[in-house]
Amino acid sequence: GDTQVVIDRLTQMAYVYRADKLIGAAHISTARQGHITPLGEWKVLEKRPFYRSKKYDNAPMPWMERIDEYGTAFHGGANPGYPASHGCIRLPMKFAEKVYGLTKVGSKVIIEG
């Protein structure tokens, strides 16, 4: 079945489903105060195994999967246990790599909470 990623901003958790079966979960870090991780239903628009931010000091974005035209993506990065990003969804590095291998351009992403 198709892979779907669900992001819960309230609990700072990511869940990965395949054909409605939970196959993985991890703690994440979304946007800190003053920045936005957008709610709603999205699709993976672009995937790159390594990318650098064009907005934020060339910051590394390993296992990047972009979901909107403004640059919001989920990728591997620091997870301090609370919202700390500029808007992206930071995943633990190994989890980001696994999710990257499970999704494709067009995979559904839901951001709630």
Residue appearing with tokens 């808007």: 87
Predicted TM-score (pTM) above 0.75: yes
Which pLDDT belongs to residue 55?
A: 83
| Calpha distance 104→36 (Å, rounded) | 24
pLDDT above 70 covers a percentage of the chain that reads: 100
| Calpha distance 72→31 (Å, rounded) | 10
| Calpha distance 28→25 (Å, rounded) | 9
Backbone angles phi, psi at 6, to 5 degrees: -120, 125
For the segment 20-53, what is each residue's pLDDT rounded down to a tens digit? 999 999 999 999 999 999 999 999 999 999 999 8
